Structure 1
């Protein structure tokens, strides 16, 4: 699910010169001695875990781009997610950083705050920027600067066990649209069936989803230690204590196990969850339906977006930005979505019938119900270099309360002190 990827985000700064190569002898071209041959440029392009599954797509995309830009050669390299950080650090140290890099939102923002990335607000036209969903584009926009072009994304879906929902006297055709309604459904499911209502996310981002205070506007001070947050946490504790939501579901496999064994009726997750249930419990898969995820008081749905960034030190900024725009344009995102089962970050792409029509299968419905939420999508991020540490500190505090029954006020006090220390370092 999306929370897993968010939890795995890494921190690093990109503070080195680009290692792209260029050639061109500078001599007059044959038959045109008054002009110099156009400089040949190699743009090094890094992606994360996309080879070999999508080789055909990227090979064609690169061939098309090079045909349109004969002076540019694209050198595509792909690395496993867990290896990207070390590889990037090694190349940085050796002065050979790539030109265009595929990064998640949190890492892109952290690198951007160090001045390591090109400000795309300065490079793109108003029309080019308007091509992307505003909430997703602005997720890497801070202080008037935009650090990344959003690429492919994903949004959570609420999966229901139709049998359990109906057994509880609820209508799956009118599913919960808000977190408050989700809680009400969960209580009724518990009361009528004995099953847990839904699987709960114990992460820092839940505070922002409910429009609760988190950090000061200048990101220099924790602001989440308030009576409002304390009340929200206590409400969730009551749901846990009443058996509306299970406690031991931090592990993704455990969440799959609960849903597959029909111990829980609802789960907020993403498309890969479908295959997990289909494999583990084909009979439960037949009972599953997908509906849009409920929203909290902030009215947003947190997406999980992969982006393209351009290192500020690149010697081929124009070509790198142009290629990044090409990769993320509406037509190319549509083709990628069709083969990768991802959602696009571009407004025009999402208008295609591919995202509004489906074959009636669970997979098809999950795609369409998530696509309709793109206009409410934002990526979760904290605009500081120490974002990962802040996120972990608050998440750990919430989990300590929810799982271990720790005193709410005391734990929030301790988390506030820890976050302020992190922000002050």
Structure 2
């Protein structure tokens, strides 16, 4: 029996037993027309969203709405913590216990597709949905000419700033930085405040520096502002060509070693610091608002204390950033592909997107939905839709990309704790990354 049943978030022993019994019969119960038939089926949905405080309630609402609209399909969500998600899904799927629907982020999808876990989606979802995918998102889910995942939502990273700390540091709380140099200068001015009245250190900006995948992605985001690219048009690694990566590492060394940015912090740490008022600026996606409201304990009233703006203009002369993406995969081994397709169609529908957007600010990867007035109703939504115009897709089509990003995160440790220069760091790590891509 699949360990999805053992790690399901919030499930009781009784409900677990019920689920296991249903799964044992699942292969005998045919799905019909994505919910239009009369036979009852159960599909499993592997995700990390239902395991996170900021999003689990909205996913419960979405699943309930889907089941009401499709009374012959039941959805069993199994929440797995994000840092274990890819390995758990791979292990269960290759071990004969695949979920019917998998939520993935861009870093994971290539591994799932490469492991033959994904079903091509053109026939299951139909041309009306496939042709409605935003072009850059569609390119990221197309493998050998086939759409292997359905983009759920793009997540461009923009700059949040704390208005209270700006004011305390003598900065205009209504004027965030427009250029990269302004951002650095403001961050140092805020860090000079030292500590708050509770003795907590105040930092000017939060750059991820934990040795994890997210740090690698954020280093790439910084490198784009300095003019670097990770791969060329043919997929060859060019990260160390030019001065972009070197300049990015020099920036990280300056920020961390001079205590402008905290050392060793991961995404969760940075979000917590921004929410408790000890971080002047942080780069985050559109989930930030919900996370900050929840973590601060102040709810929507916390919105008065911060703002969000486009990433400052760097060496390239434009606002550079990356966007990650939540994507939906239907398992190649699913016994209920039509029912699974019905659930995927619902999750990317206008009704579901509006629910998710209203609660979490989520954007849509469908052209017809992204442009709706309801998806652009306030300045917050407009900033992220504007940021998408210059956001670069993470080049994650190679299954080795995730490992490469983890290796590149080690460069920050080498320049901060190891005392290496940017040139020495690049010479140490880049050969490993290039060897992966061979």
Question: By the TM > 0.5 criterion, same fold?
Answer: yes
* Structure with bigger gyration radius: 1
CA contact (8 A) 2:166 2:280 kept: yes
The one of 257, 263, 270 equivalent to 1:255 is 270
Q: Which residue of 1 aligns with 2:145?
A: 144
Task: Say yes or no: does 1:207 pair with 2:223.
Answer: no
Deviates more, 1:234-243 or 1:299-308: 234-243
Tell me, in whole angstroms, the C-alpha distance in 2 between the residues paired with 1:99 and 1:386.
25
CA contact (8 A) 1:190 1:243 kept: no
Q: What pairs up with 1:249-328 in 2 under 5 angstroms? A: 250-252=265-267, 254-255=269-270, 259=274, 264-269=279-284, 270-275=288-293, 278-279=296-297, 287-294=305-312, 297=316, 299-314=319-334, 317-328=337-348
Task: Say yes or no: does 1:55 pair with 2:73.
Answer: no
Secondary structure, in 3 states, of the residue corresponding to 1:116?
A: coil
Deviates more, 1:390-399 or 1:372-381: 372-381
1:392 deviates by 0.6
Tell me, in whole angstroms, the C-alpha distance in 1 between the residues paired with 2:117 and 2:350.
27
Task: Say yes or no: does 1:225 pair with 2:243.
Answer: no
Task: Say yes or no: does 1:198 pair with 2:205.
Answer: yes
1:111 deviates by 1.4
* Cα gap change, 1:412 to 1:367, in 2 (>3 Å): same
1:89 deviates by 4.9
Tell me, in whole angstroms, the C-alpha distance in 1 between the residues paired with 2:269 and 2:373.
36
1:69-106 C-alpha deviation (Å, 9 max, x unpaired) = xxxx4341211223755764565355342332222222
1:168 deviates by 5.4
Q: What pairs up with 1:7-46 in 2 under 5 angstroms? A: 21-23=27-29, 42=41, 44-46=43-45
CA contact (8 A) 1:160 1:290 kept: yes
* Cα gap change, 1:272 to 1:248, in 2 (>3 Å): farther
The one of 209, 215, 240 equivalent to 2:255 is 240
1:313 deviates by 4.0
* Cα gap change, 1:377 to 1:145, in 2 (>3 Å): farther
Task: Say yes or no: does 1:398 pair with 2:397.
Answer: no
Deviates more, 1:104-113 or 1:387-396: 104-113
* Cα gap change, 1:327 to 1:272, in 2 (>3 Å): closer
CA contact (8 A) 1:20 1:99 kept: no
The one of 343, 351, 354 equivalent to 1:331 is 351
RMSD, aligned CA: 4.1
Q: What pairs up with 1:71-150 in 2 under 5 angstroms? A: 73-82=72-81, 88-89=89-90, 91-93=92-94, 95-121=96-122, 126-150=127-151
1:293-335 C-alpha deviation (Å, 9 max, x unpaired) = 4465475543343221122344554554354223212222112
Tell me, in whole angstroms, the C-alpha distance in 2 between the residues paired with 1:320 and 1:278.
37
Tell me, in whole angstroms, the C-alpha distance in 2 between the residues paired with 1:94 and 1:238.
44
1:391 deviates by 1.0
1:416 deviates by 1.6
1:8-41 C-alpha deviation (Å, 9 max, x unpaired) = xxxxxxxxxxx953547xxxxxxxxxxxxx8958
* Cα gap change, 1:87 to 1:246, in 2 (>3 Å): closer
Secondary structure, in 3 states, of the residue corresponding to 1:305?
A: strand
Secondary structure, in 3 states, of the residue corresponding to 1:255?
A: helix
Secondary structure, in 3 states, of the residue corresponding to 2:377?
A: coil
CA contact (8 A) 1:330 1:346 kept: no
Task: Say yes or no: does 1:409 pair with 2:423.
Answer: yes
Q: What pairs up with 1:360-379 in 2 under 5 angstroms? A: 366-367=380-381, 369-377=383-391, 379=393
Tell me, in whole angstroms, the C-alpha distance in 1 between the residues paired with 2:334 and 2:302.
52
The count of residues paired between Structure 1 and Structure 2 equals 381
Gaps spanning 5+ residues in structure 1: where? 1-18, 25-37, 67-72, 359-364
CA contact (8 A) 2:46 2:102 kept: yes
Tell me, in whole angstroms, the C-alpha distance in 1 between the residues paired with 2:354 and 2:414.
42
CA contact (8 A) 1:114 1:385 kept: no
* Cα gap change, 1:160 to 1:418, in 2 (>3 Å): same
Gaps spanning 5+ residues in structure 2: where? 1-24, 31-36, 196-201, 210-214
TM-score by length of 1: 0.72
CA contact (8 A) 1:256 1:276 kept: no
Tell me, in whole angstroms, the C-alpha distance in 1 between the residues paired with 2:62 and 2:412.
42
